Amino acid sequence: MKFKNEPLAAPERRPSTRLLVGAWLLLCLIWGSTWGAIKIGLSDLPPFTFAGVRFVLAATILFSVAALRGRSIWPKPGDWRFLVVTGMLAFTVNYAGLFWGEQHIPSGQAAVLQATIPGFGLLFAHAYLPGERLSLARVIGALAGLAGVGIIFLHELHASGSMALWGSAAVVLGAAAVAWANVLVKVRSRDFDPLVLAGWQMVMALVPLLIAGALTEGSPWSQRWTPAALGCLVYLAVVGSVVAFGVYYWLVRHADVTKVMSIALVTPVFAVALGWWVLGETLSWRTLLGSLAVVAGAGLMMRPAPPATCAPVAEAGPQALPATR
């Protein structure tokens, strides 16, 4: 898949480590809490409509904030294909699988399965980003994570039936899609304002989600818009989307994409704890074993690669990368 890489503007000043770590921790907290909000909202709203309306609200806010800050919100002619592809991967495929899958599996388990994002991300980063290559430890971590996902899948097949198995598979498919999108965004992250980038990606996603919802779930106006559902929708749109993706794409611009995706290792801890405390969810020992394998494997994959023996490669930027993303 090829995208045109435009010349890089003057280098930006790198934020302090404290600011980068603070942004990373904020995202861990926000995205650790969104799983329970999705689960609660799904008790009243169907998945495609729920996800689609979330992005309608979030994109509207993102564009409004960008316009108030004096930023141009209209993409350049050469940017449309990039926005369509990354929007479909990061939001349509990912959130359709996530919202649909959480109908059939606990929110904590969904968060654990999305901890495979760093593993998929390392595979894609190896192909696209010269500075983020695979190592032996990362390969072992990928295999451990794959084994953990397999344990969870086999348990769901025997304990909860085929729909739980398909729900788990849908979440993992979404994890692969968003990992690919994240690496593609890293290649061209300096070409876009984070709010505008996230807003247009959500626009590209909300159209197919709302169409799928209308065809399979009925009109959005006919759904059960209870106070709980509305509260979850507002929280997911404003905090889980506007705030979180603005911070996320800012981090992707200033830090290694594989380190940013390590957020997926921490969010399951919050998600499982909140699922147990708020929703009364439980996890079997097999699911816990698989979860430990996923998180341990992802932790291995996040280990820094050994220093290169040859001359160091310049920091990856759009002008230093192949014309693929």
What does the pLDDT read at residue 229? 93
- State pTM to two decimals: 0.69
Question: Count of residues for the chain?
Answer: 325
Determine the Cα–Cα distance for residues 132 and 249; give it in Å rounded to an integer. Answer: 18
Amino acid identity of 168?
Answer: S
Return the structure tokens found at 240. 């889980």
3-state SS class at 311? coil
Which is it for the CA torsion 131, 135, 137, 139, positive or negative? positive
Which is it for the CA torsion 304, 250, 207, 114, positive or negative? positive
What does the pLDDT read at residue 155? 61
Q: What is the CA radius of gyration of the chain?
A: 19
Is 213 in contact with 221 (CB distance < 8 Å)?
no
Return the structure tokens found at 160. 């909860």
Q: Tell me the HSE value of 175 on the side-chain side, using a 13 A CA sphere.
A: 31
3-state SS class at 166? helix
Determine the Cα–Cα distance for residues 51 and 47; give it in Å rounded to an integer. Answer: 6
Measured CA to CA in angstroms, residue 307 lies from 182, 232, 246, 315 at distances of 24, 45, 32, 14
DSSP 305: P
What does the pLDDT read at residue 106? 79
What does the pLDDT read at residue 258? 62
- Could you read off the pLDDT tens digit of each residue along the chain, which spans 325 residues? 444 444 444 455 677 778 887 888 888 888 888 888 988 999 999 999 999 999 999 999 989 988 888 878 888 877 888 889 989 998 889 988 988 988 888 777 787 788 778 778 877 877 776 666 666 776 777 677 667 767 766 665 565 567 888 888 899 999 999 989 988 887 775 667 778 888 898 998 888 999 999 999 998 888 899 999 999 999 999 998 888 888 887 887 777 766 676 677 667 766 766 666 766 666 667 767 776 777 677 666 656 555 544 434 333 333 222 222 3
Determine the Cα–Cα distance for residues 133 and 126; give it in Å rounded to an integer. Answer: 5
| Burial of residue 51, with CB atoms counted within 10 A of its CB: 0-12 exposed, 13-18 middle, 19 or more buried | buried
Is 264 in contact with 298 (CB distance < 8 Å)?
yes
Determine the Cα–Cα distance for residues 54 and 66; give it in Å rounded to an integer. Answer: 18
- First-to-last C-alpha distance (Å) of the chain: 6
Buried b / exposed e over 180-216, threshold 16 CB at 10 Å, is bbbbbbbbbbbbbbbbbbbbbbbbbbbebbbebbeee
